[in-house]
Amino acid sequence: MHRRDLLRLIAVGGLAAATGCGARKPAVSATSLADLDCIGQHDLIVSGALSKEASITSAFERIDAVNDQLNAVITRDDERAIVHARTATGALAGVPYLLKDLNAYRDMRMTMGSALFRNHVPDSQSPYTDRIDASGLVVLGKTNTPEFGLLPTTSPVLHGPTRNPWNVKHTPGGSSGGSAAAVASRMVPAAQASDGGGSIRIPAALCGLFGLKPSVGRFPDQGYANRAWPISIKHAITRSVRDSALILALTENTDGGPLLPVGFVTPERRKRLKIAISTDTHLGPADPNIVDAVVEVGKTLQRMGHEIEPVSDTPHHDPAFDRHISTLWGHGVFGILQQVEADSGTTAENTGLLEPATITLARRFSQLPPDALQTALDYFQVFQRGTDDFFANYDAWLTPVTSAVAPEIGFMDPSLDFDTLTERVTQFARFTAIHNVAGTPAMSIPAGKSDDGLPIGVQIAASVGAEALLLQLAYQLEEATPWADALPPVHA
């Protein structure tokens, strides 16, 4: 569907009918608004049953109701959001939204989960964020994230841990854990997230939500020029597939770039696909509950008519990958450590401005051979070509998102012994980062619960630029095994 067709449908209030999955009955109470996705709320606004201002005030009421239990939202601006709502235009005008605290929003505090930026208020924002504003989504505030988004959990020293709505003793994942907890608990229907190693997919999986990591180059300003390798990309965590598809269409690059625009993807039966399936890496298999979920999704796809082929030799089986990705992440924070020490005239440890894990990661990088970063970048080029070759034989690839369900808060705490922390993170988050290096799109699909009642997500990836294929598969799975109505114990 072209953008002009999308806007025409919205203008006549026909978007819910056109998208099919997830359509809901109009309602205006705060309780029933919590059950609606972005498109469902906007349909009410278009119909006149809900004002844009009421949409926003209701969302703040939901935040008030559950945020003390979850610590998902760490900055908010009620007055600014309501003023914005009154004049908002665009395809999702008046729908409440939250930004992850790694994304700059003009004149709103942005800490990046670090004491170093505790009082930082940017005076500008990126063209990507401009597109969020232009979509009509109304930014209510910022969600919690680990320091600089480095960990697959959300427990920054500055703000404290965010808790999983399914069990508050457990993490919602990271680094977009605040966004995932906010969406799962019904504070907002969707929230902005970013992914540099799994940070959209992991919290989506741990909170029973949908999370798509787009292809590298999908957006106009992901800061690639300032990075040694373009691994991180922004998008959203949502409850419905159609919300993710629409937000992607409203924010993607349509003015020329390395990829053709996806547009707004709607449900459509695709041809029979050849889908690889694997449940292990060079570190061994995922936990039994995770493996069972992946196998069950594979069976569901097979019943739909797709060809499922088990594979044992995949890009996940290269033990060198972990070393080189650690080098890249270390390079990313080494410059921060140098600046802190130059500005303060003392060691970073003495300033209290950086967390222990961040400092150690940077110092470990400084101890590597001078050519370590270039060696990693050379390796990534070869790895990227190898991943492209893998997808030349398959339309998609089904795997776990994480090796286990959500661990308890503290299991990956930034104050742990660094080697212990590194081992736990590497084991837990070993299925996602390869798609950041390769630039391939990958998504987390809800796939039931563990024996302990914690959500499980499975990952489906495809070749660069194939977001439409993934979204079509997501629509099919959403229809076959609906997940959007599942309520966690902590919800608004």
Q: In angstroms, what CA-CA distances link 123 with 132, 233, 263?
A: 17, 22, 31
Residue 176 appears among annotated catalytic residues: no
C-alpha distance across the termini of the chain, in Å? 34
Residue 53: which H helix or E strand, with range?
helix 52-70
CB atoms within 10 A of CB 193: 35
Identify the H or E element spanning 74: strand 73-76
Q: Are 83 and 168 in contact (CB under 8 A)?
A: no
Tokens of 202: 């992991």
- Alpha-carbon distance 99 to 107, whole Å? 13
- Alpha-carbon distance values, 44 to 39, 182, 183, 188, 276 (Å): 9, 22, 19, 15, 41
Q: Give dist(CA 444, CA 176) in Å, integer.
A: 13
- Closest listed residue to residue 235, CA positions, set 213, 257, 220: 213
Taking CA atoms, 238 is separated from 116, 144, 184, 193, 242, in Å, by 30, 17, 9, 10, 9
Whether residue 63 contacts residue 36, with contact meaning beta carbons closer than 8 Å, is answered with no
| Whole-angstrom distance, CA of residue 334 vs CA of residue 325 | 14
Annotated catalytic residue 278: no
Alpha carbon of 174 to those of 73, 143, 164: distances in Å?
A: 14, 11, 11
Amino acid 354 reads: L
**Which of 165, 177, 113, 153 shows the shortest CA–CA distance to 409?**
153
| Active-site residue, 100 included | yes
Beta bridge partners of 444: 211, 459
| 100, 142, 213, 234: the active-site residue | 100
- Which residue among 135, 175, 185, 244 is the active-site one? 175
Do residues 128 and 251 lie in contact, with contact meaning Cβ atoms separated by under 8 Å? yes
Residue with tokens 């003495």: 350
Query: Which residue, among 52, 49, 95, 102, has the nearest Cα to 75 in the 3D structure?
Result: 102
Query: Which residues are designated catalytic?
Result: 100, 175, 199
